[in-house]
Structure 1
């Protein structure tokens, strides 16, 4: 079996996921994992698939036709193989505060400085109650490097939260 990670983007319309799933199925593949989203009228997705080795070349040759057929641009990258399982503790991060530039950069820099990896991140903005401007909210699943200190992550994030004037919560997923 050959593993591929597919990235797909196109103008949103019905049938995009069905067309991609059909291409995988028609080549004897399995849809293993995915994250799909709609942002600003664009459909975007990342999908892990496995295909029999003998069908992988024809599958790759078929991907450009999805752009012509349904307007979905798909890029395939060979999977790295190996173990995808987290090696350190997993934490759930939640951030809420007044929207301003640089928030994601500062938080992710603090996480990186402590050797943490972001396994998932979702962020959005929304109107604050009673005309209080825009709020920025984010949720992330963070994995600590083996042997990393959870207190170090907390300290780094609490310093950022004070500087950004945001509410920041960090909870263990275990």
Structure 2
């Protein structure tokens, strides 16, 4: 079996996921995992599928043909997963919204060789003041060689500058 990672984006509409799933199934493929969401009238997702080697080229052509129906698909061959040389950590962040929060947090993470495996963000009105409140949840892959105390200290210094609350916890 070959594995593909697909990125899909299209104007949101009923039946969109079914069209993609049917295309995969028609070619003997198997839908393994996905993350999909609707945002600002668009539907986007990333998914991993397996397909028999002899149907690989036909599936790729069929997925690319979905563009004619307004469904853009970007394909990549699945890479190998690295050996587990990291510890999973969850990050929660809340603060008044302002430009640059994601840039500043991810800069520190990158400097410490921390990988962002997933990131969910939104901006919503604060309960009492109705001011825009930025919230982020991230799953991080922290190198085993990096002390959580060092990571916490670096992020807390930044959190003070950004005026955000930041919590790290183990993902066990």
Question: What TM-score bracket applies, with the shorter chain setting the length?
Answer: over 0.9
Q: Look up the SS of the partner of 1:13 in the other structure.
A: coil
Structure 2 residue runs of 5 or longer lacking an equivalent are: none
Q: In the alignment, which residue of structure 2 is the partner of 1:137? A: 135
The one-character-per-residue Cα deviations of 1:39-65 (angstroms, maximum 9, x if unpaired) are 111000000111111000001111132
Which stretches of structure 1, 4 residues or longer, exceed 6 Å deviation after superposition?
none
Alignment partners' CA distance in 1, 2:127 and 2:31: 41
Alignment partners' CA distance in 1, 2:130 and 2:22: 47
- Could you tell me how far 1:146 is from its partner in structure 2? 3.3
Alignment partners' CA distance in 2, 1:51 and 1:84: 22
**TM-score of the superposed pair, with normalisation by structure 1:** 0.94
Cα 1:119–1:28 shift into 2, 3 Å: same
Alignment partners' CA distance in 2, 1:117 and 1:166: 21
Q: In the alignment, which residue of structure 2 is the partner of 1:165? A: 163
Contact 1:114 1:152 in 2 (8 A): no
Cα 1:35–1:86 shift into 2, 3 Å: farther
- Could you tell me how far 1:132 is from its partner in structure 2? 4.0
Alignment partners' CA distance in 2, 1:13 and 1:36: 13
Q: Number of residue pairs matched? A: 172
Structure 1 residue runs of 5 or longer lacking an equivalent are: none
Contact 1:86 1:143 in 2 (8 A): no
Q: In the alignment, which residue of structure 2 is the partner of 1:92? A: 90
Bigger drift between 5-14 and 142-151 goes to 142-151
CA RMSD of aligned residues (A): 1.3
- Could you tell me how far 1:130 is from its partner in structure 2? 3.4
- Could you tell me how far 1:166 is from its partner in structure 2? 0.6
**TM-score of the superposed pair, with normalisation by structure 2:** 0.95
The one-character-per-residue Cα deviations of 1:61-101 (angstroms, maximum 9, x if unpaired) are 111322223x2111111111x22564311111000000001
Q: Look up the SS of the partner of 2:140 in the other structure.
A: strand
